[in-house]
Amino acid sequence: MSALIEKLIPESLPDEPGEFGPLRRKALKVLMQHGFPHRKVENWKYTPLGLLESRAFENATGPSEAPWPELPALPFEASVLHLHDGLLDPARCRLPAGVTLEALAPADVDLSGMDDGSPADAFAWLNLARLQQGWRICVDDHARLERPLLLMLTCGEDFDRVAHPRLKLELGVGAEATLIEWQQGQGSGLINSVLDIELGASSRLLHLIDRHSEETALIERTTVNVNAESSYSGFILDGGGRLTRQDLNVNLNAANAHGAVCGVAVLDGRSLVDYHTAFEHRVGPSTSSEDFRILADDQSVGVFNGRIHILPGADDSHSEMNTGNMLLSRGARINTKPELEIHAEEVTASHGATIGQIDDEARFYLRSRGLSDAQAISLLKFGFAAAAFDSLEPGPPGQWLTDQLKERLSW
């Protein structure tokens, strides 16, 4: 993968010193020593990194000169943080009382989950090595945000560079918030982002993701640290793109921590998503659940690797994982793998995986009641996909995500 090193770490880029200097140098050292993952690295074998080698990225690091796009309308009020081409302009942020935004400091960077002995975490190291902007968003203790925080991520048609946004969201003790990550890609650049989420004791975060990367390559690593009595619920709708890679690690660090991830990927054309999720039960009792569904049409490729790891001492933990997959054409491919690793006592853990197609009997049944064939197929796809969102709490953001799913499936 030396070609990728040349492509993504060009010599012509200056090594910006500053307070992040030592971290950058460490990151570069790891990258130079281990390089980028190749097909023989198990967790990266389905991610077509060759696409990045074939692209010519511009070296510019400053803000794009093109005007920022208007934000698409949401059917409810939200506090907006807009990143365009991977950069955030703080002057454009509208944050409510109880929420602060400040530049990330080196002390805010947690390296504990980063593997420095192999290429597995190369893109997270790259993010650090080439960090342009890092932001820390803090929600005060006991703040209950009425409006969701909208993290709007856009890329213009002319976006042809590599951006490395890095964000850290911290919820204080007893805080409650909804974070919506809404991403729309266009240009042929690469967004290599890192999002760290720290949930204080007894806090609750509802995290909705709606993503359609299109031509923009996206590699994102999200790490969620869930502390005592706190809860993380992630709901994902991903329309994929030429290369969409998401690592989502949820660490259950204290007693009665809860994590849930429910995702739907709706793929067509030549789009690809590659999701790697992991729940780390570090302390018991803690609970986790996951339901991830992929619908793949045309020549698209869907990858899901879900891991539940119950560590020694995390006794009385409970976990369940389900992955359902629907192949809609002969040319589509889905690779799905649930993994369980249990080292504790008195735990319950279950996992299941299914791959199927549109059920002809159900299709006939719907048509016999008056729906057209196209409507029947759309409804069956919607029914299959929407089941992943069954636990989505009622309210405008949840309804919005469900409506986005309906739109994707033409229902």
Partner 1 sequence: MLNIKNLHVNVGGSEIIKGLDLEVGAGELHAIMGPNGSGKSTLGYALVGRDGYEVSEGSVDFEGRNLLDLDIEERAAAGLFLALQYPVEIPGVNNAYFLRAALNAQRKARGEEEVDSMSFLKNVREQLKALKMDEALLKRSVNEGFSGGEKKRNEILQMAVLQPKLAILDETDSGLDIDALKLVAEGVNRLRNENRSFIVITHYQRLLDYLEPDRVHVLSDGRIVESGDRSLAQRLEREGYAFLEAAEA
Candidates 61, 118, 132, 375: give the one binding partner 1 (CB under 8 A).
Answer: 375
> What are φ and ψ of residue 362, in 5° steps?
-65, -40
Integer Cα distance of 83 and 78 in angstroms: 15
Half-sphere exposure at residue 156, Cβ-oriented, CA atoms within 13 angstroms: 15
Nearest distance in Å: CB 363, partner 1: 9
Cβ distance to partner 1 smaller for residue 183 or 323:
323
Cβ distance to partner 1 smaller for residue 111 or 386:
386
Integer Cα distance of 385 and 383 in angstroms: 6
Specify whether the CB–CB gap between 120 and 41 falls below 8 A: yes
- Binding-residue pattern over the window 334 to 373 for partner 1, x denoting contact by CB under 8 A: -------------------------xxxx-xxxxxxxxxx
Q: Which stretch binds partner 1 (CB under 8 A): 239-247, 312-320, 327-335, 376-384?
A: 376-384
Candidates 99, 126, 163, 385: give the one binding partner 1 (CB under 8 A).
Answer: 385
The count of residues interacting with partner 1 (CB under 8 A) is 23
Specify whether the CB–CB gap between 202 and 176 falls below 8 A: no
Cβ distance to partner 1 smaller for residue 65 or 390:
390
Nearest distance in Å: CB 327, partner 1: 17
Cβ distance to partner 1 smaller for residue 95 or 386:
386
Residue type, 286: S
Nearest distance in Å: CB 295, partner 1: 12
Cβ distance to partner 1 smaller for residue 40 or 369:
369
Integer Cα distance of 350 and 333 in angstroms: 25
Nearest distance in Å: CB 390, partner 1: 8
Task: Decide: is 65 part of the binding site for partner 1 (CB under 8 A).
Answer: no
Contacts with 276 (C-beta within 8 Å, 6 or more apart), sequence order:
43, 245, 246, 247, 248, 305, 307
Nearest distance in Å: CB 377, partner 1: 12
What's the order of all strands across the beta sheet hosting 318-327?
A: 87-88, 79-84, 149-154, 176-184, 204-212, 231-238, 258-267, 287-296, 318-327, 348-356
Specify whether the CB–CB gap between 185 and 218 falls below 8 A: yes
Cβ distance to partner 1 smaller for residue 344 or 386:
386
Q: Which stretch binds partner 1 (CB under 8 A): 188-196, 221-229, 380-388, 394-402?
A: 380-388
Angle at 165 between CA 163 and CA 170, to 5 degrees: 175
Nearest to 408 by CA among 280, 288, 336, 300: 300
Candidates 379, 396, 398, 402: give the one binding partner 1 (CB under 8 A).
Answer: 379
Nearest distance in Å: CB 277, partner 1: 21
Q: Encode 329-342: b = buried (16+ Cβ within 10 Å), e = exposed.
A: eeebebebebeeeb
Nearest distance in Å: CB 369, partner 1: 4
Candidates 23, 41, 353, 386: give the one binding partner 1 (CB under 8 A).
Answer: 386
Angle at 31 between CA 26 and CA 33, to 5 degrees: 95
Nearest distance in Å: CB 19, partner 1: 51
- Binding-residue pattern over the window 233 to 272 for partner 1, x denoting contact by CB under 8 A: ----------------------------------------
Cβ distance to partner 1 smaller for residue 112 or 368:
368
Contacts with 110 (C-beta within 8 Å, 6 or more apart), sequence order:
196, 223
* Residues of the shown chain interacting with partner 1 in the complex, contacts defined by CB under 8 A: 359-362, 364-373, 375, 379-380, 382-387
